[in-house]
Chain A
Amino acid sequence: QEQLVQSGAEVRRPGASVKVSCKASGYTFTDYDINWLRQAPGQGLEWMGWMNTRGNTGYAQKFQGRVTMTSIISINTAYMELSSLRSDDTAVYFCARGQSAWFKVWGQGTLVTVSS
């Protein structure tokens, strides 16, 4: 079945970077965009940006300059790296398969905790 499996929870100090992976299976990885979203504790969903396997990306202005989305086609894996972490970046980060900009397939989420 179509699925996205994300890497495990991470803890970082303020100012550090984190890189989360998202491995696709059950469908042709190159046929769809991958989007990244996040959800702070007890809060709603926030869209961070999208990428495709041709190297095109689009980032929400809030994250411009701090986020990088990449992929390695040979292993069907997408990555999201967020730098200059702050305490308010503590959240569950989700990857989701874009399909005309709605999301049918989601990863299970990766908790990133930023704490000194």
Chain B
Amino acid sequence: DIQLTQSPSFLSASVGDRVTITCRASQDISSYLAWYQQKPGKAPKLLIYGAYALQSGVPSRFSGSGSGTEFTLTISSLQPDDFATYYCQQHNSYPLSFGPGTKVDIK
């Protein structure tokens, strides 16, 4: 089974900051990685799939990169609506798996 780790687990940032979250896979998953944003009491929202493909309707300040075992989600200029928890998910093979999450909080 493929294990995902995320760093940091918690991030405190200000509006306008550039934010980078890293996801590492326990084995090569090519570009089969998705990113989600989740707010309390809500279902996750798909941001990125295939490591870098931006889901329709997601603001362009979100971007994804990486391949193999190391991936990043970047928010170029953090907005008030972006304070949430972010999860990576590998869609390379079953069983599908998620990272433990990164909570982005207001500084």
Instruction: Please name 15 further chain A to chain B contacts, defined as beta carbons within 8 Å, in addition to the given A47-B97, A103-B36, sorted by A numbering.
Output: A44-B99, A45-B44, A45-B89, A45-B98, A45-B101, A47-B95, A47-B96, A47-B98, A58-B94, A60-B95, A101-B32, A102-B50, A103-B34, A106-B44, A109-B43
State whether the Cβ of A94 lies closer than 8 Å to any Cβ in chain B: yes
B residues less than 8 Å from A83 (CB atoms): none
- Is the beta-carbon distance between B43 and A106 smaller than 8 angstroms? yes
A56 within 8 A of B: no
21 A-B contacts (beta carbon < 8 Å):
A35-B96, A44-B98, A45-B44, A45-B89, A45-B98, A45-B101, A47-B96, A47-B98, A50-B94, A61-B95, A96-B43, A100-B91, A101-B32, A101-B91, A102-B34, A103-B34, A103-B44, A106-B43, A106-B44, A107-B43, A109-B43
Main SS of the interface on chain B? loop
Chain B, Cβ-Cβ closest to A109 = B43
Give the CA-CA distance A58 to B93 in the complex, in Å. Answer: 12
Q: What residues on A are CB-neighbors of B36 within 8 Å? A: 45, 103
Q: Is the CB of B91 within 8 A of A102?
A: yes
The count of residues in chain B whose C-beta lies closer than 8 Å to any C-beta of chain A is 22
CB distance from B88 to the nearest CB of A (A): 10
B66 interface hit (Cβ, 8 Å): no
A108 and B91 contact, CB distance less than 8 A? no
Contact, CB under 8 Å: B95 / A45? no
Residue interface bits A71-109, CB-to-B below 8 A is 1, else 0: 000000000000000000000001010001111101111
What string of 1s and 0s marks CB contacts (under 8 Å) between A44-63 and chain B?
Answer: 11110010000000101100
